[in-house]
Structure 1
Amino acid sequence: MPDVVVQPTGVSPADVLAVARGTARVTLAPSTVEAMERSRSIVDRIERDGRPVYGVSTGFGALANTFVAPERRAELQHALIRSHAAGIGAPVSREVVRAMILLRVRSLALGRSGVRPLVAHALVDLLNHDITPWVPEHGSLGASGDLAPLAHCALVLLGEGWVLGPGGERIDGGEALRRAGLTPVELSAKEGLALINGTDGMLGMLLLAIDDAAHLFTMADVTAALSTEAMLGSDRPFLPELHAIRPHPGQAVSAANIHRLLQGSAIMDSHRDDLAHAVQDAYSIRCAPQVAGAARDTLAFVETTAARELVSVVDNPVVLPDGRVLSTGNFHGAPLGFAADFLAIAAAEVGAIAERRVDRLLDVTRSRNLPAFLSPDPGVNSGLMIAQYTAAGIVAENRRLAGPASVDSVPTSGMQEDHVSMGWAACRKLRTVLDNLTSLLAVELLAGVRGLQLRAPLTPSPAGQAALAAVGGYAGEPGPDIYLAPVLEQARATVSGRALRTEIESTTGPLN
């Protein structure tokens, strides 16, 4: 995997994924170092002049009017990191921490934070030596950015705090640096504040969620097509001319995907001109593009928001090229909190409509001659009955998680920070919703494949055949009940992975 070179203009979403989920190493461009040196020279000049400037020669938050003597300013920065590393709970995942660190490097690289290049190099060293700070899941309000999570990362630079071990255990931060041949950093004026005042945790989680959602929304079209085919549904509602008259772009994309996935099917051909066939399919089939398409359009908005944040200066105060050091509110996470909440709502509904298709497939009165619960011998056997219970429970949880976090401000810091974004919480629950969506699509994938198997000897579409081959390898053919939990876990891996999608696209062409 090629190196990620951090430029003074920042990094791309692909860069973040390559570092968070891949093995890419990180380097700073020479122009980045120059930009940081210019910014630092302004802070050094302020230090020499003795002017009171927030974050340089004063306290923080509600203590912003407290002047700090020059000889205690380094102590101030170290105390800031220690006091703000006050999170609690289980550690967040390695990929989130790595994304967060890279994004903090990105923020410093923009040359508006007034820190020395060695601070950015120290963060890069954590990434390149695979040192992952232990960052607790609770602590950020998304107000002055992700203060506590970023402080836990910065604390390791000081040779303190904890690091996430390979088995999930906690390792002393100083020991981790020593093992890697690294030395702790001695912070100077403003550098502690610059390490923690940003939206990097929220943005990192959002970028990871965007990548997951884009794939899952395509897989939702795949599972919807399998269910439609298995239930002898019609492909006519997915014709492009019907979606051109309601020109939502996401809807057109999902409809085109589903229509393409259903072509070449003997099952579909078997009832295409049958006068006894239902005039209209149920909403969960016929309106699949409208729901998944609206989710895609929401995702497009979220992508735009994240792209803007990737080029934003979110530190406070910021060091302007003309020498001014000014306080801002750019660290407030409202844009990211709103985006995460919107996407959680959309993803929850993609899962909810999938569960409705599963229920229809299992109901002998609505599945068009499929056996009850997709068992060839219902009664003695329960088939996928309880798999649908599981899906129903997950849908209920997603509905709770779809409630917005971003409206739940709690004032802090002696009412100095009297409105907070809760963006960290919004992004955390979005990732849970997407993980739940993976499970829901896994249940639909298994149910759709079972339905297609039970339509034999009629053959499904090439896409359906690819799904039969992939899922049949671990689920087998319909028959006596089996231990379902391992099968569902493998179905989750099939949904989240890329192998089935790649195999399907080899026959249908690229899915969007």
Structure 2
Amino acid sequence: MSSTHPSPQPSPRRGEGAVLTLTPGSLSLEQLLAIHAGGTHVELDPACREGIRASAALVQRAAAGDAAVYGVNTGFGKLANQRIGNAELDLLQLNLIRSHSVGVGAPLQPPVVRLMLAMKAASLARGASGVRESVIDTLLAVLNAGLVPYVPSQGSVGASGDLAPLSHMTLALLGEGEFLVDGERRAAAAVLQEAGIAPLTLAAKEGLALINGTQTSTALALHAFLAFEPVLESALVIGALTVDAARGSDGPFDPRIHALRGQPGQIDVAQYYRALLAGSEIRRSHLEGDDRVQDPYCLRCQPQVVGACLDQLRHAALVLLREANAVTDNPLVFADGPDGEGSMISGGNFHAEPVALAADAMAVAIAEVGAIAERRIAMLIDASVSRLPPFLTPDAGLNSGFMIAHVTAASLASENKSLAHPASVDSLPTSANQEDHVSMATFAARRLQAMIDNTAHILGIELLAAAQGIEFLRPLASSKALEQAHALLRAQCPTVDRDRYLAPDIERATALVTDGALSRVFRALPGLPALWIPV
């Protein structure tokens, strides 16, 4: 795929967004992006319904039988040895949802919840969970109606599924929880009635199937992945602008250097920088007579550092896309078993270790993009290295210029270092030691948003500093692409020719990083490899 732009979809229905056919096991990043953005009508591929019915029938036979089957006629976790009578099997599932709806903290954002609903429907529709079609249809009805279950963001350890958040999601479908409507919490029963959606009722195993799974941690990680795309594209544009502001060499971006190493992200990032710097008058003016032999690492090693981050993010995308298409509840239902009778097998697909490790890798990559940007700011304000006026102010001493703006960037970079500590190496046993190793994937993914925000602000400060540096080199111009980036900033923030209240400028510059303005500069460059590889 070329970046993460959604593929063309069928024509919208009257009064609806684009129509997306959900084929279980075949969700693409483009489709997930469309669901994440909202306004897409999701329909289930009819071809999967026969498999759904077959697995549900197998569960119903097990519920009517005499054998103990975990999650069907037994308790849960440490209580799995407690047998439940046939008359109470439906109540068992309802009690499961009620007892597990114990989340705390701020609610998950609507795009995250949309992904949860869609991915849970896709997982159940693979026909290995034993739920009735009505369960999946209700998930999609809520999604298509634009309803957002109220789901507290804290309370999952990322094993035995994202139990608490998925329980809150399910409780809303049952009409007992809450929905988030225009930022306010409203009782689920009334919201469902207004939308013309019948509250879901649960049969054997269905509550367990709905809350076992990694859909919350995966949705949070995908949300971060999609949010970081414009930030990373902006980082490339701003990093190139800093190269010109510091009159750095483009020699380190020579493709022969990177071909000898063979790291694909590094090769691509070097190409991005060559394209961004192409045609710069500033660069041409310093090809001769520049007495510096080598630039600082923060300029020279950008392909090696940011390219390695890009490789990590690309790998994370592969892991998350697999997980979005996975069946991650327990036990699993195999209706077409070799004995012709089918079987139900307990396993551990609910353990979110793949998501936790992917999120931890993303955290390190996000932190490193911010860390090298902070070093570029430090280089720009250091007159002995950048050969620009001290602290990028024409009257240093009377004015402090970017001195303390850099301190802010340093504080954010340091905060990201703490947040980048891997969550996956922690584990606290739960359920009376029955669930004795957990992934902490949900926090691993949730903490990424704060890190992205920190990195975006660092880049906003660098954008202000680099633009200031460019202006000290006038009348020479940078490349066409970088002058476009400079003009975008100056339309929002004037030159800092003397000390003034700078925090509003930092916020406006950061908005250019996050809202796609600088991304459009990057994406307009012709013939570049996709930022995200096809997955």
- Residue matched to 2:279: 264
Counterpart check, 1:352 vs 2:371: yes
Q: How much has 1:93 moved relative to structure 2? A: 1.2
Q: How much has 1:10 moved relative to structure 2? A: 4.4
Q: Which AA in structure 2 matches 1:232?
A: R
Match of 2:167 among 151, 158, 166: 151
The Cα offsets for residues 34-54 of structure 1, whole Å up to 9 and x where unpaired, read as 221111111112123232111
What are the residue-to-residue correspondences of 1:322-361 with 2, within 5 Å? 322=337, 323-361=342-380
Identical positions, percent = 45
Shift of the 507–430 alpha-carbon distance from structure 1 to 2, 3 Å rule, reads closer
- Residue matched to 2:217: 202
Q: What is the rounded CA distance, in whole Å, between the counterparts of 1:386 and 1:93 in structure 2?
A: 33
The Cα offsets for residues 60-104 of structure 1, whole Å up to 9 and x where unpaired, read as 101111110011011100000010010111112111111111111
Q: What is the rounded CA distance, in whole Å, between the counterparts of 1:488 and 1:267 in structure 2?
A: 26
Q: What is the rounded CA distance, in whole Å, between the counterparts of 2:277 and 2:198 in structure 1?
A: 60
Match of 1:161 among 177, 189, 203: 177
Choose 104-113 or 310-319, whichever is displaced more.
Answer: 310-319
- Residue matched to 2:24: 8
Q: Which AA in structure 2 matches 1:264?
A: G
Choose 471-480 or 353-362, whichever is displaced more.
Answer: 471-480
Q: What is the rounded CA distance, in whole Å, between the counterparts of 2:526 and 2:297 in structure 1?
A: 25
Match of 1:42 among 50, 58, 63: 58
What are the residue-to-residue correspondences of 1:85-96 with 2, within 5 Å? 85-96=101-112
Question: Secondary structure, in 3 states, of the residue corresponding to 2:429?
Answer: coil
Q: How much has 1:507 moved relative to structure 2? A: 5.1
Question: Secondary structure, in 3 states, of the residue corresponding to 2:106?
Answer: strand
- Residue matched to 1:465: 483
Match of 2:310 among 284, 288, 296: 296
Contact 1:74 1:188 in 2 (8 A): yes
Match of 2:428 among 399, 410, 415: 410
Shift of the 460–508 alpha-carbon distance from structure 1 to 2, 3 Å rule, reads farther
- Residue matched to 2:4: none
Q: How much has 1:509 moved relative to structure 2? A: 4.8
Question: Secondary structure, in 3 states, of the residue corresponding to 1:475?
Answer: coil
Question: Secondary structure, in 3 states, of the residue corresponding to 1:245?
Answer: helix
Q: How much has 1:123 moved relative to structure 2? A: 1.0
What are the residue-to-residue correspondences of 1:430-509 with 2, within 5 Å? 430-506=448-524, 509=527
Question: Secondary structure, in 3 states, of the residue corresponding to 2:386?
Answer: coil
Q: What is the rounded CA distance, in whole Å, between the counterparts of 2:500 and 2:418 in structure 1?
A: 32
The Cα offsets for residues 259-291 of structure 1, whole Å up to 9 and x where unpaired, read as 2211111111111111x4310000111111111
After TM superposition, the score normalised by the length of structure 1 is 0.96
Question: Secondary structure, in 3 states, of the residue corresponding to 2:236?
Answer: helix
Contact 2:215 2:324 in 1 (8 A): no
Q: What is the rounded CA distance, in whole Å, between the counterparts of 2:523 and 2:312 in structure 1?
A: 24
What are the residue-to-residue correspondences of 1:302-317 with 2, within 5 Å? 302-317=316-331
Q: What is the rounded CA distance, in whole Å, between the counterparts of 1:122 and 1:239 in structure 2?
A: 55
- Residue matched to 1:254: 269
Q: How much has 1:173 moved relative to structure 2? A: 1.4
Q: How much has 1:510 moved relative to structure 2? A: 4.0
Match of 1:99 among 99, 115, 139: 115
Question: Secondary structure, in 3 states, of the residue corresponding to 2:261?
Answer: coil
- Residue matched to 2:417: 399
Question: Secondary structure, in 3 states, of the residue corresponding to 2:385?
Answer: coil
Q: Which AA in structure 2 matches 1:260?
A: A
Shift of the 277–212 alpha-carbon distance from structure 1 to 2, 3 Å rule, reads farther
Shift of the 169–84 alpha-carbon distance from structure 1 to 2, 3 Å rule, reads same
Stretches of structure 2 lacking an aligned partner (at least 5 in a row): 1-16
Contact 1:225 1:261 in 2 (8 A): yes
Match of 1:225 among 234, 240, 245: 240
Q: How much has 1:388 moved relative to structure 2? A: 1.1
Q: Which AA in structure 2 matches 1:42?
A: L
- Residue matched to 2:384: 365
Q: Which AA in structure 2 matches 1:21?
A: A
Q: What is the rounded CA distance, in whole Å, between the counterparts of 1:164 and 1:202 in structure 2?
A: 20
Question: Secondary structure, in 3 states, of the residue corresponding to 1:474?
Answer: coil
Shift of the 479–412 alpha-carbon distance from structure 1 to 2, 3 Å rule, reads same
Query: What is the aligned length?
Result: 509
Match of 2:70 among 54, 59, 64: 54
Q: What is the rounded CA distance, in whole Å, between the counterparts of 2:505 and 2:291 in structure 1?
A: 33
Choose 428-437 or 79-88, whichever is displaced more.
Answer: 428-437
Choose 481-490 or 115-124, whichever is displaced more.
Answer: 481-490
Q: What is the rounded CA distance, in whole Å, between the counterparts of 1:38 and 1:491 in structure 2?
A: 56
The Cα offsets for residues 304-350 of structure 1, whole Å up to 9 and x where unpaired, read as 21232233221101101221011111110111101111121122111
Q: Which AA in structure 2 matches 1:352?
A: A
Shift of the 313–506 alpha-carbon distance from structure 1 to 2, 3 Å rule, reads closer
The Cα offsets for residues 420-472 of structure 1, whole Å up to 9 and x where unpaired, read as 00010111112322222222222212211111122111111112211111000
Q: How much has 1:508 moved relative to structure 2? A: 5.2
Q: Which AA in structure 2 matches 1:47?
A: A
Stretches of structure 1 lacking an aligned partner (at least 5 in a row): none
- Residue matched to 1:67: 83
Q: What is the rounded CA distance, in whole Å, between the counterparts of 2:273 and 2:24 in structure 1?
A: 43
Choose 287-296 or 6-15, whichever is displaced more.
Answer: 6-15
Q: What is the rounded CA distance, in whole Å, between the counterparts of 1:56 and 1:283 in structure 2?
A: 60
> Whose relative contact order is higher, 1 or 2, with alpha carbons under 8 Å and at least 6 apart?
2
